[in-house]
Amino acid sequence: MARRSSPTPARLTNPFRYRGPLQTPADIIDRSREREEMLDLVQGGHALRMIGPRRYGKTTLLTQLLRDAEKAGMATALVDLEDVLSIGELVVRIERAYANSLKGGIRSHVEALFRIWNVGLSLTAGGFTARITANPRTDSEAVLQRLLDLPRELHQRTGKQTLVVFDEVQDILAVPGADGKIRSVIQHHENIASYAFAGSAPGLMDQLFSNPKRPLLEQAVGLELSPLPLDLTADYIDRRFRRSKRKTGAALQALIEFTRGHPQRTMLLAHFLWKHTPEGSQADEQTFLQAQSAALAEARAHLRATFKAFKPNEKRVMIAMANLSGSPREATNAAAVGIRLGSVSGTTEGLKESADLIEPTEDAGPVITDPLLALWLNRRGLAGLPPENDD
């Protein structure tokens, strides 16, 4: 007689995702106020610009916004401009954005239009990439112009409005004249399309939006992404531990104090805390320290590259912030890291413009945005450790 095998208990998977934009609404902590506000604005035809430091959940929120807009009947496109280098690449990014999001009847309309235009655009594989590869002398500017005006055609044919989101929009500054080209088309899209621009460097965003020489859209409504609310974040982590037969114990408070609502760092630490907490047990301060070391190991290569990319005075201010109590503006602190007192203010402002420093409350002064970078700099110390001790 065949023996009935006992069912193997389902292995519980780690409930904390720390890479890439989150897609599942249940995974997302809060941001409902921002989501509603943004949807109201785009439905009202306003342009908006959202600023949030790296890994603060911009794309997660934009993805949700697009989903909301689609439900409300809009055509949508999420254009990722990270590291875009040429007009040809820009065309491909926009084409791929429509290819990823358009569905049903609108998709068929756009496919038909692309065929009529006969400029190499397509919603299926290949598309404009194939065209410029085959003929590098293709007039990408003319195609860009046409593609940017797609919302007008869609509106004429279907009556639908389009929401176009440009993510990491500050990178457009690397393509000479591209911001002007975008502006010259979209400024005529009132009642046809809404635009949202997201970026991670406030200084560059200001260049795009406030510099009169580069007015992308002066009237775009600004929105700043704050850290996650600490109470909701703590509840979320606690609930996910309990649901997977674990308890957060004393580690929870330590984690929340360490990550200060930084979305990706919170999830990264929660991920490793969960991993170091066996099923049926409770985490404690020791488990938190293990999780912290594991998170540091995971992020080390990136942290090192981030630090290397700073200018010398920026390195000095960051080291002072991570290692000394009081402000780098104090003479002894400035001297300890080798920066001239007169250079501290300008350097600090520059670090705020790149969102490496943030001011969580108005008068508390700036802090290092990434708590893991602060820890890494603290381990490095004032004088810098030899690389073999770099952990």
Residue closer to ligand ATP, measured from CB, 17 or 304: 17
Contact 80, 171 (CB under 8 A): no
- Concatenating the DSSP letter of every residue in 221-235 gives EEEEPPPPPHHHHHH
Closest CB 31 distance from ligand ATP, rounded Å: 5
Residue closer to ligand ATP, measured from CB, 271 or 380: 271
Contact 334, 341 (CB under 8 A): yes
Handedness of CA 351, 317, 301, 28 (dihedral sign): negative
Q: What is the dihedral of CA 160, 218, 173, 96, to 10 degrees?
A: -10
Residue closer to ligand ATP, measured from CB, 199 or 366: 199
Q: What mask, x for binding ligand ATP by CB under 6 A, covers residues 73 to 112?
A: ----------------------------------------
Closest to 59 measured CA to CA, from 94, 93, 23, 85: 23
- Concatenating the DSSP letter of every residue in 67-79 gives HHHHHTT-EEEEE
Quick check: helix, strand or coil at residue 163? Answer: strand
**Binding partner selected for residue 57 from ligand ATP, Mg ion, none, CB under the kind-specific 5 to 8 Å limit:** ligand ATP
Residue closer to ligand ATP, measured from CB, 131 or 262: 262
Written as one letter, the residue type at 36 is E
175: Cα separation from own chain's centroid: 21
18 near ligand ATP (CB under 6 A): yes
Q: What mask, x for binding ligand ATP by CB under 6 A, covers residues 258 to 277?
A: -----xx--x----------
Residue closer to ligand ATP, measured from CB, 121 or 299: 299
Extended beta strands in the chain, E state: 48-51, 75-80, 162-167, 193-199, 221-224, 357-358, 367-368
Given 22, 90, 97, 334, the residue binding ligand ATP (CB under 6 A): 22
Residue closer to ligand ATP, measured from CB, 106 or 356: 356
Residue closer to ligand ATP, measured from CB, 106 or 228: 228
Given 57, 59, 128, 195, the residue binding Mg ion (CB under 5 A): 59
Given 28, 84, 255, 273, the residue binding ligand ATP (CB under 6 A): 28
**Binding partner selected for residue 313 from Mg ion, ligand ATP, none, CB under the kind-specific 5 to 8 Å limit:** none
Given 42, 47, 50, 56, the residue binding ligand ATP (CB under 6 A): 56
Given 76, 101, 170, 200, the residue binding ligand ATP (CB under 6 A): 200
**Binding partner selected for residue 54 from Mg ion, ligand ATP, none, CB under the kind-specific 5 to 8 Å limit:** ligand ATP
Closest to 196 measured CA to CA, from 114, 33, 205, 96: 205
Closest to 84 measured CA to CA, from 178, 165, 166, 175: 175
**Binding partner selected for residue 328 from ligand ATP, Mg ion, none, CB under the kind-specific 5 to 8 Å limit:** none
- Concatenating the DSSP letter of every residue in 100-146 gives HH--HHHHHHHHHHHHHHTSS--SSSSHHHHHHHH-TT--HHHHHHH
Which residues would be at the binding site for ligand ATP (CB under 6 A)? 17-22, 28-29, 31, 52, 54-60, 200, 263-264, 267
Which residues would be at the binding site for Mg ion (CB under 5 A)? 58-59
